């Protein structure tokens, strides 16, 4: 059997994390099937070292462009592949073989105002609908995302939409050690307590309200030393976020970082007094779990998939209320018993998620799509 996986987002956040963990765990699980990894030229050497049955294939077409709709099908015919896994909602129009697809969320359909134009919305709606209808199986990462998919595409068969949750990158589970922690303290001039956010900077992440909530917190006694660190790329694309900092009067206390390496991120998670993630929508929401794995108490939203993911191991707030976000962070900072409880519950919650279990479920899905009998395996633990 020959399975092709679109790995062009190997270096990305989000879908890139999904692809990297999928491929690495498949390489440990399956040494018989041939896997063709459609990849960027810059990643070819890295992917060649995975395992003998994993074959990188350079695919130069850009994502979400016209060329991929004929270039990828041409590759699939040339390779004589039996199945394609698209790790996002775009399935090439001319795909000549059976496929499975991962739809992580429906954010473009729920928040069309964040797209550049109406054409982008039409493209997202039509491509996602086609992928859901045409694929043998649709993987998604939470029950909340499954409900969204079925709401927008009621014609989809619920039995073909399988929830396979994400898990945490192994790199973040490794304690960076005191030497690295001290290096990070010096590198970022960390002298007191800070609240941390990590993720992308898109509008639905609700960072303007987080900044406003931090501004409220700074006005209250006992938080004079507190800083807010925001880790995420492309800050300069969102001038409204800089304006929110000025409006809250916290320009000296909010620091923006771009991309940081995994070891640095692991250290920053561990150094933070609290992790705040008041997102308006998540297909899964991995950063709160990452913070929990690093022993940091989490404040996050009580909507979308986030309650499903964090369970009782985080303090949940109304992400539309600046006052509620500020109050949640203040409770975590000021209540040692609550902090200790959240840290303990967080460590336990993280153990509910495993890339090994999730990739076994995906591999079973591949075999099902190919009509290959496989022994029954326990479904991955969901986040109920």
pLDDT 10s digits, 341-374: 999 999 999 999 999 999 999 999 999 999 998 7
| pLDDT at residue 340, as a whole number | 97
| pLDDT at residue 377, as a whole number | 56
**pTM for this prediction:** 0.90
Summarised one tens digit per residue, pLDDT across range 202-245 is 899 999 999 999 999 999 988 999 999 999 876 666 778 889 99
Place of tokens 């995302």: 145
Q: What CATH superfamily classification does 2-167+354-370 receive? A: Glycogen Phosphorylase B; (3.40.50.2000)
Summarised one tens digit per residue, pLDDT across range 122-167 is 999 999 999 999 999 999 999 999 999 999 999 999 999 999 999 9
Nearest to 207 by CA among 254, 273, 162: 254
In this predicted structure, the answer to whether residue 327 has a pLDDT above a threshold of 90 is: yes
d(CA 302, CA 319): 7
Helix (H, G, I), strand (E, B) or coil at 162: strand
| pLDDT at residue 373, as a whole number | 82
Mean pLDDT of 62-79: 94
Report the chain's mean pLDDT, rounded to a whole number: 93
| pLDDT at residue 116, as a whole number | 86
| pLDDT at residue 308, as a whole number | 96
| pLDDT at residue 384, as a whole number | 47
* CATH domain 170-350 topology: Rossmann fold (3.40.50)
The helix or strand, by DSSP H or E, that contains position 249, with its residue range, turns out to be none
The helix or strand, by DSSP H or E, that contains position 138, with its residue range, turns out to be strand 137-140
Summarised one tens digit per residue, pLDDT across range 171-211 is 888 899 999 999 999 999 999 999 999 988 889 999 999 99
> Where in the chain are all domains bearing CATH 3.40.50.2000?
2-167+354-370, 170-350
Whether residue 14 contacts residue 107, with contact meaning beta carbons closer than 8 Å, is answered with no
Share of the chain above pLDDT 70, in %: 96
CA distances from 301 to 46, 109, 190, 206, 355 (A): 37, 20, 27, 10, 24
CB atoms within 10 A of CB 375: 6
* Long-range contacts of 217-225, Cβ-Cβ distance < 8 Å, separation of 24 or more: 217/326, 217/329, 217/330, 218/248, 218/249, 218/250, 218/253, 220/330, 222/334, 223/330, 223/333, 225/191, 225/192, 225/193
């Amino acid at each position: 059997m020959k399975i092709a996986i679109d790995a062009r987002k190997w270096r990305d956040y989000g879908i890139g994390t999904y692809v990297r963990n999928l491929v690495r765990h498949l390489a440990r699980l399956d040494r018989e099937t041939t896997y063709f990894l459609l990849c960027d030229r810059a990643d070819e050497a890295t992917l060649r070292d995975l395992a003998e049955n994993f074959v990188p294939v350079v695919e130069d077409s850009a994502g979400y462009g016209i060329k991929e709709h004929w270039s990828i099908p041409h590759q699939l015919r040339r390779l004589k592949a039996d199945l394609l896994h698209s790790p996002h909602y775009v399935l090439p129009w001319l795909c000549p073989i059976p496929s499975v697809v991962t739809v992580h969320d429906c954010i473009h359909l729920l928040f069309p105002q964040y797209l550049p134009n109406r054409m982008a919305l039409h493209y997202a709606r039509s491509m996602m609908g086609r992928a859901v209808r045409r694929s043998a199986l649709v993987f998604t990462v939470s029950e909340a995302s499954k409900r969204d998919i079925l709401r927008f595409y009621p014609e989809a068969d619920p039995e073909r939409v399988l929830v396979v949750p994400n898990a945490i990158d192994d790199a973040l589970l490794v304690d960076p050690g005191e030497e690295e922690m001290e290096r990070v303290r010096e590198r970022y001039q960390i002298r007191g307590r800070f609240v941390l956010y990590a993720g992308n900077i898109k509008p639905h992440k609700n960072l303007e309200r987080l900044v406003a909530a931090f501004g409220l917190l700074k006005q209250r006694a006992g938080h004079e030393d507190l800083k807010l660190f925001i880790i995420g790329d492309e800050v300069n694309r969102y001038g409204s976020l800089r304006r929110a900092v000025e409006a809250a009067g916290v320009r000296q206390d909010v620091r923006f970082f771009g991309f940081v390496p995994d070891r640095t991120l692991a250290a920053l998670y561990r150094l933070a007094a609290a992790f705040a993630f008041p997102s308006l929508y998540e297909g899964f929401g991995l950063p709160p779990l990452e913070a929990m794995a690093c022993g940091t108490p989490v404040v996050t939203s009580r909507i979308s998939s986030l309650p499903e993911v964090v369970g009782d191991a985080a303090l949940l707030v109304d992400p539309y209320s600046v006052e509620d976000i500020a109050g949640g962070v203040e409770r975590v900072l000021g209540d040692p018993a609550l902090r200790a409880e959240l840290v303990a519950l967080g460590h336990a919650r993280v153990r509910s998620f495993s890339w090994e279990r999730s990739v076994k479920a995906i591999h079973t899905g591949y075999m099902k799509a190919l009509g290959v009998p496989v022994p029954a395996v326990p479904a991955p633990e969901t986040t109920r």
